[in-house]
Every structure is written in C-alpha cells, then in structure tokens.
A and B are shown apart, each in its own frame.
Chain A
C-alpha cells in the first residue's frame, strides 16, 4: 500500500500552497477549497520550486516565475504553459490528507 499521510487538513487554509516531505519524497499540497491536490515540488518548465513560486487563486494554479498556469482540477495546462502538471492521487480520511506515492513523479528537463 502506498497511500501515505501528507498532513492534517485541520488548519490547511483554503487556497494555501504548502511544502511537505512525505517518506523522503518532497511534494507540494494545494487546498482548492476542501478539495486537495498533491503535486511534485518543481515546475515542469524550468525546475522552479513551486512551494515558493506557486500561487493558487480563482481556480488557477500559477508558477509566478514565468506565469505558467494549470487547472488543478485536472492538471491540464492553461495560458502560456506548455506542459501539464503531474499529480498524485489524493484522498481525505479521518481529517488526514493522504497521497498515493509509489515513486516520486518527475519531469524531464532539457539541458542544452
């Protein structure tokens, strides 16, 4: 079983973007307003740490560095973003946010 505890949902403010290390895997969790998403810590564009540069507002998740954006309901790119965002499966049980973390989700980056 690879469902793992990320955090308690108690005190996790709506629209907040928070960093966690779950069993050695770094993740970023976002509260869409009672609905949670858990994503890899880096922007798929240029490895920007989304725990610092990520902003969730009006239903859109934005990396504030180059303004790539995603619909976190689905992970689909929107605006100028060129890649979808990867997401872990999540669920809330007994006031705990859980994510299904088998292995870290990663992106390939182009190194010239």
Chain B
C-alpha cells in the first residue's frame, strides 16, 4: 500500500460511508468545543456524584458543568439538591471548597448556611436567602430575601443513588427518560442495595473528551491491552453485542470474565454485585461523557468534565456495597485497582491511547479523517457505538461529523 501525498491523504476513500469517519476538527476546533458546551453539555443529565459522598445532612460537593459552578448539598430533610454556586448579589462564587459540611463554622460563614463571604449573604439548604446584611438600610422595601433565593437546578438521585443534575430547566425528560433504556441492563444490580464510593481520583488529560468516550465504546483497542489480548480473545468475547440505545447511549455488551486466566487471577464470583451472574461484566456509555462499568465485584463510574477542546477532566469512582465488611471492602478495592488503579492492567494504557490522539489533534491541527468503519455484526470490535454517538452529536450540533462545516440536517436529507 503506497503512502499518500496531501491531496490523497485529504480525500477519504470512496468506499467509506459518510457516517464511517469523522473530521478531526470536531475534536480540535475551539469554536466547535464552545458550541458543544451550549448545545450538548448544558442540555444533558449528568451523574455528578454519588449520594454516599454526601452521607450527612449539610454535606456538600462543588463541581462545574460547562464551566457553570454548581453546588450539591444534602438538606436537613435528607433530600439532595443542586444549586448554581453563585451569589445572586454580585455574582460571586459562594462556596470555594471542593467538598465539606455546612455544619462547620467558618470565619466568614456560619453553621447550617451557605455564606457568600463577599458581603455576608446567606442561604439555607433549600436555596432560600436567609440573610442579607443591612437589608432594610440598603433595599428599604424594594427588595427582600424572598426575591433573592439561589438558582436551583433540576436534580434527581437515582440509578444506584447517583446524583444527576442538568442545567436545562426546559428539558422535560426525567433521568429515566434520558438514560433508563441504556441503564436497564444493570438497574436491578445498582438498586438492589445501597452502594458506597470507596475510590475517587480525578485526572486532567490532554485530549478531547470525545476521544476518551470513543475508547470506551470500542473494544478493538484491546490490541493495546496486552493482558486482554493474550487472555481475552475467546469466542464469548467476540460474541459480545454492542447495542445502541436512544439519546446516543451505548451498551457495550456483557460477558463472563475468565479471571482464572489472568496472571495470578482467581474468580471474583463470591463478591459479585447482587443479582449479577458470577463474574459478569457490563458496560454502559452515556452520552455525552459518562460511563458505568460493572465488573463483577466492583462498579466503576467515570464522569467527564470537558475543560477545553484539548483538555478533559475525568473523575473516576469505584463503588462497592455499603454493607461490605472491612475484609470484603479490601478485596473489592483490590479487584478495582488491579484493573483500573495506577498500577492496574488497563487504565494507564487507555490514557496513553487518548493522550497520543490528543497530542496529534491539537487546536489548529490540519483536518484529518478519523475512521469508525468497522462492521462486525454489532459485536465488540464493531464501531457501531461511535457511529451512534456521532449521529446524536450531529443532531444536537446540527453539524455533520464527517464535515462539520456542513449542516447535519441538510446532509441527512
């Protein structure tokens, strides 16, 4: 096969269908990235954390969606709510800590309230404005606390008691409408018993968020995972189905993992999640950037926060059962880390893959074609997951993924 000059390199092979490749500008173009924040990230439900990370009333976490600062907090009524982490007075960030408790007294805050340190305005756990300093003197009867509550965001605690938030008040879908179809395959395992986060780390990676999501939706890259390659390529592995669900989600099949074939491996059946067949594995990729990965004894949930066209923050959580004994928990953590920890089998290799792509698709780089043309009867090495994702992406953005200068709607006609 001859190498190609610029013109040849820039001409996709005639035999490729329009949905079998994308233009690399969808990963590298900062203007497209900004548009994605508006049209996709501000309009989707995202699982931002787990209820076990807010175990007590007044516990909170802060985060961002599409750069908007958000605060989630468990109220004294035990309900978890989400608010824009912004003071209605002067637009100041209210809470600066990544997590904590509003029960603790702070130099410029007081117990049981969120306090904007700037001018001392305070809010309760339901977002009511509870204190405006020198209220009467400054606003007389023109403005009062009741006019100046926080902006509450739609928030649901569901599917294994994850806390889901959306910035879009106008979206009438529930989380179940949004993702229930894709998560149905593991819903009974997630909801059988209370879960608990035992592992959390975050990584900031020099790549476009979609490249990470792509990697989660094809398993052809098991050629990079040495151990998967030498132990995993069995008939059952290749029989796994890769199934597209509405709203751009994909279920990357299920199969029984042969842990005995791993180096020093042994079955993890006795710690399998409730209702899960022994050593069974499920993976659900949620549009636009979350992933539920249930591997027998441990659940991993990744949530992405895109920071720029070429940078993504990924939060990695590992979960077990709340009722785990110390010994069970230790083994779950070991199972989790042996695959996904820093010295585990897979995670670092996945990161090498997407960081390599990221460094070859920096903003301003020449447009290239990225191929997603594998058809293998919708099984594990079929790239149907990516094609499905980019169909949804094209619809939301009204841009054709294979040529983002063209409108998706017109091209589809």
Contact = CB atoms under 8 A, between A and B. Distances in A.
A23 to B, nearest CB: 24
Nearest to A65: B110
Contacts of A53: 110
Nearest to A42: B111
B272 interface: no
B113 interface: yes
A66 B73 CA distance: 24
Given A66-B131, A111-B76, A48 B124 contact: no
Given A66-B133, A111-B76, A46 B122 contact: yes
A112 B128 contact: yes
A47 B112 contact: yes
A80 B120 CA distance: 15
A66 B120 contact: yes
Label chain B's interface by main secondary structure.
loop
Contact of B110 (A48, A80, A112): A48
A49 B76 CA distance: 19
Contacts of A48: 105, 110-111
B114 to A, nearest CB: 12
B113 A46 contact: yes
Taking each of B105, B113, B124, B130, which has the highest tally of chain A beta carbons within 10 Å of its own beta carbon? B105
A52 interface: yes
Contacts of B130: 46, 112
A111 B111 CA distance: 12
A47 B111 contact: yes
Taking each of A47, A80, A111, which has the highest tally of chain B beta carbons within 10 Å of its own beta carbon? A111
A11 to B, nearest CB: 26
Contacts of B332: none
A52 B122 CA distance: 19
Given A49-B105, A66-B131, A66-B133, A112 B112 contact: no
A80 to B, nearest CB: 8
A52 B105 contact: yes
Interface in A40-72: 46-49, 52-53, 65-66
Contact of B124 (A52, A65, A112): A112
Contacts of A111: 76, 124
B109 to A, nearest CB: 9
A80 B113 CA distance: 20
A14 to B, nearest CB: 25
Interface in B72-120: 76, 105, 110-113, 120
Taking each of B111, B113, B128, which has the highest tally of chain A beta carbons within 10 Å of its own beta carbon? B111
A112 B126 contact: yes
B76 A46 contact: no
B382 to A, nearest CB: 54
Interface in A2-42: none
Interface in B43-71: none
A1 B128 CA distance: 45
7 contacts: A46-B110, A46-B111, A48-B111, A49-B111, A66-B120, A111-B124, A112-B130
5 closest A-B pairs by CB: A112-B128, A48-B110, A47-B111, A46-B110, A112-B124
Given A46-B122, A49-B105, A111-B124, 10 more contacts: A46-B110, A46-B130, A47-B111, A49-B111, A65-B110, A66-B120, A66-B131, A66-B133, A111-B76, A112-B126
Interface of B: 76, 105, 110-113, 120, 122, 124, 126, 128, 130-131, 133-134
